[in-house]
Amino acid sequence: MANRQIARSLSALISGALITLSLAPFSFWPLAIIATAILFTALQQQSIKHSFWLGWFFGLGLFGTGASWVYVSIHEFGYTSIYLAAFLTFLFCGGLAFCCAITWALYAWLLKKNNVIFNSTHSITLAMQSVNSQQLILFAAVWVCGEWMRSWLLTGFPWLFIGYSQTESLLAGWAPIIGVYGISFIICISGAAISHLFFLRQGIRTHRTLLTAVVLCWFIATPLKHVQWTLPAGEPQQVSMVQANISQHDKWRREYRQPTLALYKELSEPYWESSDLIIWPEAAIPIYYQQANSFLDQMDSLASQYQTALLTGIPSRDTHSNKSYNSIVTVGNANGVYRKQNLVPFGEYIPFGDLLGNVLAFFKLPLSTMQAGNTQQAPLTIQQFESKPLICYEIVYPGLAAKAAAVSDVLITVSNDSWFGGSIGPLQHLQMAQMRALENGRYVLRSTGSGVSAIINPAGKIVARSEQFEQTVLTDEFNLMQQNTPWTAFAYFLTPLLCCAPLIFQIYSKFNKFR
């Protein structure tokens, strides 16, 4: 029996790791379905306790392979030893894995199974005989509920959603309608159904209606790719995005401030006349907004002279409260300031700061003092169009991006992925920006300090991109888009609710029986 539990734990661990391989930069998308099939099989007839630990091993496999790039930030830029950085990375990934543990413990509790652990392939087959359509749907619902929970818990870590595996694959056509959450649901129910049919072939007859619906979801996705939910408005615009590739080690050093400003000015010089918009990345100006007035006035004069607009990342400080913000400001033919709303846990803010802040201070790790901006900020006015920008991590929030797209003609995001070096993190980040373009039917202009900068069209295709760790200016055309996709209009909040509806109904039924 112990050997069987070890085997299940190992399969759960592998399942999590396979999801990472289904995402960028590997993009072996069929592995996403295989991963869900493996986990569904492992969870059969498990007690709440065993499901909890299977969920934890699954989460460890997922985050240990897919989010371990935080090691680069902790070791290389946090200046910690290899051993301490490895330990803190394990704590980070292991802590996130508990979200998965709780999710699958809830799944076991809702199934109300006996605490029986089967010990052979034949026993798994017997377990599959008790599986009904409700259980297949519940598996997908719990999975999506877990992903949705990670999008807001402690301001959220909405990373490694399984739906991202389809950004450039078969189910991409569903993105403007049901978004990444809905695609995750289809993948999960497909994997669970495949697992069930593998062990019990007559399941085709008993689940005919459900399986037909699942198959139709895959077939309909292809023609859906050709539906144009949004339309271009006006003439194409020219954008130039400056990628200065300044080392993160030097970026904030006092002696590099003036050379940094001079470099951005120099790289932009050839593009003032030809560009409608020039974008500098997150925190391109390494001094507070209030200290950069003279330099910004120079840039305003240049931009106005050529009838163009400059958008740049810069930290800012409220002179009354002394609070610091990660901001975007505009000069030239543009107007507005934006302050980042969703901060990076442990990067820009410390959850449970009174407790964990003291712990991190003990390890002599740098602590951030950033504050979250107002949730009701107006979009920036740029030339004759509007855009509510997203700073770095904010592009990974499906709901936040949909709200921004609803008041934007184009989605603009600035980032600084140099924190993660040559790891897979920046490429995962780029893939999520592609999904935001798909979901909202908008061009996404992604300007980064060290790459990958990209222009992504409403179909989620990258039409121009830079290489990482290269000093360059990425310039190309984009279109302003009008009208909203169903996702932008209402599905960004309705889809998670519908996906989680079976879970909500099951919880209600369970508690209703206790009365």
Catalytic residues: 282, 340, 392
Q: Is-contact 414 313, C-beta < 8 A?
A: yes
State how far the Cα of 204 lies from the Cα of 180, in Å rounded to an integer: 28
Angle, to 10 degrees, between the axis of helix 30-42 and the axis of helix 2-22?
160
CA quadruple 94, 99, 103, 105: dihedral sign: positive
β-strands 385-387, 380-382: how paired?
antiparallel
State how far the Cα of 264 lies from the Cα of 290, in Å rounded to an integer: 19
Q: Report the run of H or E that residue 431 belongs to, with start and end.
A: helix 425-440
CA 341: distance to chain centroid?
Answer: 15
Beta carbons within 8 Å of 126's beta carbon, 6+ residues apart: 118
State how far the Cα of 48 lies from the Cα of 121, in Å rounded to an integer: 21
Q: Is-contact 158 345, C-beta < 8 A?
A: no
State how far the Cα of 244 lies from the Cα of 280, in Å rounded to an integer: 9
The 8-class DSSP code of residue 44 comes to T
Helix, strand, or coil (residue 481)? strand
Q: Which two tokens stand for residue 470?
A: 């290269």
Q: What are the respective helix, strand and coil percentages of the chain, to the nearest 5? A: 55, 15, 30
Amino acid residing at 444: V
State how far the Cα of 455 lies from the Cα of 468, in Å rounded to an integer: 15
State how far the Cα of 147 lies from the Cα of 142, in Å rounded to an integer: 9
State how far the Cα of 468 lies from the Cα of 326, in Å rounded to an integer: 23
CA 318: distance to chain centroid?
Answer: 29
